[in-house]
Amino acid sequence: MAKTTKKRRGAQAAGKEPLDLPVRLGQIIEVEITGLSHEGAGVGRVEGYTLFVPKALPQEKVRARVEHVKKNFGFAELLEVVEKSPSRALPPCPIYDRCGGCSLQHLAYEEQLIHKQQIVKDNLRRIGGFKVEGEEAVIVHPTLGMSDPWRYRNKAQVPIGEQDGGLVGGFYAEKSHEIIDMNECLIQHPANDEAVNAVKEIASQLNITPYDEKNHTGLLRHVVVKVGARTGEVMVVLVTTEAFIPQRDKLVEEIRTRLSGVKSIVHNINPARTNVIFGEKTVTLWGSDVIYDYIGPIKFAISARSFYQVNPAQTEVLYNKTLEYAGATGTETVIDAYCGIGTISLFLAQKSRHVYGVEIVPEAIADANRNAKLNGIENVTFETGPAEVVIPAWKEQGIRPDVIVVDPPRKGCDEALLTTILQMKPQRVVYVSCNPSTLARDLKVLAELYEVREVQPVDMFPHTGHVECVIGMQRIDT
């Protein structure tokens, strides 16, 4: 009997039988919104059952249509705002209701910053088990935002496709691969819009076929544009399925004519049936292999494939806070795990005796060494390999860091790296995070030896649900 009940519940959860819930699919309901999810959806409850309503805000009463249900929660489409929140803003983007990019444009920017601070607090408390209120709590500072939270992105990656027999380019609709054609994105640097529009028009005029993702036919897959915010230099990257581009010289000539700031036109070939943007082969069609930009006083060479923070103004805020939490005075030895192209390492080198950077991607280390040479910075050493392997080897060579800085991807730190940090016992650890949930998980491990004193959220991506943080930690016995 017990086995039958368990099987029945499993079938219900999988949607094979109707669940006994206070709402049903397709039902139009009126619900009060009491909170905001980490993804930016409004949170309401119907007889205790949780409903997520995208684009709804706390303090609002809304009409919504139930679209998806699970045992403990469901999702509904916003139909009408019956009672409006004082924090509701009018999204200036004309395709906001269709594009899947900026999910928080309808929330006043000051409230976005408060929401992101709360996201960090919630994760630290729920996942990390930290106190975030009252005495002896971890201090989570107000989110550092932008004075002008628009036009901040220095990189556009625009998929190209075909609709109604014509070439289109834009961002994907939410949770789909339907391209929403656009001429302007309000969070992109204007030079990005100009370049994308130029390539779309020129490609159409030259009858260059757009990519059909479903049938894996056509030539032009993506247009990637990078711009140096301080230098004004522009790189255009054409991602195609084949090496041969018809009328290639004419295409290059037209791009050069239309875009006065272009310094580099690059061709990347990606023949694979994949959602990954870049293929393995990259060639420069015209101009330089790189463009240049600055973060603070440090100059960086940016290639087609190299990672570079997309919001340079806020990156400087983030790195200055990293430098502050590192407590560097000029005498410290610092290890930068996940160093990438050396952005944080070179920043730290300004006030450190020596910085050691490690990164698993060989091309990134080549860029890091090039950037060090570009700035005449000699007190840095970069090495390729997994941080959890390279750092213990450095320890065997007698390298004893005073500070370890980690800036991992969204999945957080490798467990072996956290163990390595605890074994090496530097005086301070600085954690730069792009994911509050994996941050909280990793801090819980490091709290064995380190006091988590303060957390500084930084709004790197205004009008989206993402938030970055810098965390300063001090070894407990020092």
Full-model pTM: 0.90
Residue 441 exposed, middle or buried by CB count within 10 Å (0-12, 13-18, 19+) = middle
Using the structure block, give the residue that is written with the tokens 């899947």: 100
Across 133-137, 138-142, 291-295, least confident range: 133-137
Question: What residues does 64 pair with on adjacent strands?
Answer: 29, 78
> Active-site residue 434, yes or no?
yes
Cα angle 411, 414, 417 (rounded to 5 degrees) comes to 145
Residue-wise pLDDT tens digits, 268-314: 999 999 999 999 999 999 999 999 999 999 999 999 998 899 999 99
Closest by alpha carbon to 379, among 416, 419, 333, 413? 333
DSSP string, 422-467: HHH--SEEEEEES-HHHHHHHHHHHTTTEEEEEEEEE-SSTTSS--
Residue 417 exposed, middle or buried by CB count within 10 Å (0-12, 13-18, 19+) = buried
Mean pLDDT of 105-113: 97
* φ/ψ (deg, to 5) at 472: -100, 130
| CATH top class, domain 2-83 | mainly beta
Mean pLDDT of 146-165: 94
pLDDT range class, residue 1, cuts 50, 70, 90: very low
Fold designation for 311-475:
Rossmann fold (3.40.50)
Angle at which helix 190-205 crosses helix 248-258, to 10 degrees, equals 140
Q: Residue 284's Cα: distance from chain center in Å?
A: 27
Mean pLDDT of 96-113: 92
Question: What residues does 357 pair with on adjacent strands?
Answer: 336, 382
Sheet holding 333-337, edge to edge: 139-140, 450-458, 468-475, 428-433, 403-406, 333-337, 354-359, 380-384
Mean pLDDT of 227-237: 97
Output the known binding site for S-adenosyl-L-methionine: 309, 338, 359, 407
Domain ranges of the chain: 2-83, 155-295, 311-475
Q: Which pLDDT belongs to residue 101? A: 82
Task: Label the pairing between strands 42-46 and 28-36.
Answer: antiparallel
Residue-wise pLDDT tens digits, 396-443: 999 999 999 999 999 999 999 999 999 999 999 999 999 999 999 999
Dmax of the chain from CA atoms?
A: 77
Q: Which pLDDT belongs to residue 7? A: 37
Q: Which pLDDT belongs to residue 38? A: 86
Q: Which pLDDT belongs to residue 163? A: 87
pLDDT range class, residue 12, cuts 50, 70, 90: very low
Q: Which pLDDT belongs to residue 18? A: 58
Q: Which pLDDT belongs to residue 306? A: 87
Question: What residues does 410 pair with on adjacent strands?
Answer: none
- Equal CATH topology for 2-83 and 155-295: yes
Fold designation for 155-295:
OB fold (Dihydrolipoamide Acetyltransferase, E2P) (2.40.50)
Catalytic residue, from 93, 99, 102, 434: name it. Answer: 434
Q: Which pLDDT belongs to residue 4? A: 38
Output the known binding site: 309, 338, 359, 407
Residue-wise pLDDT tens digits, 322-349: 999 999 999 999 999 999 999 999 999 9
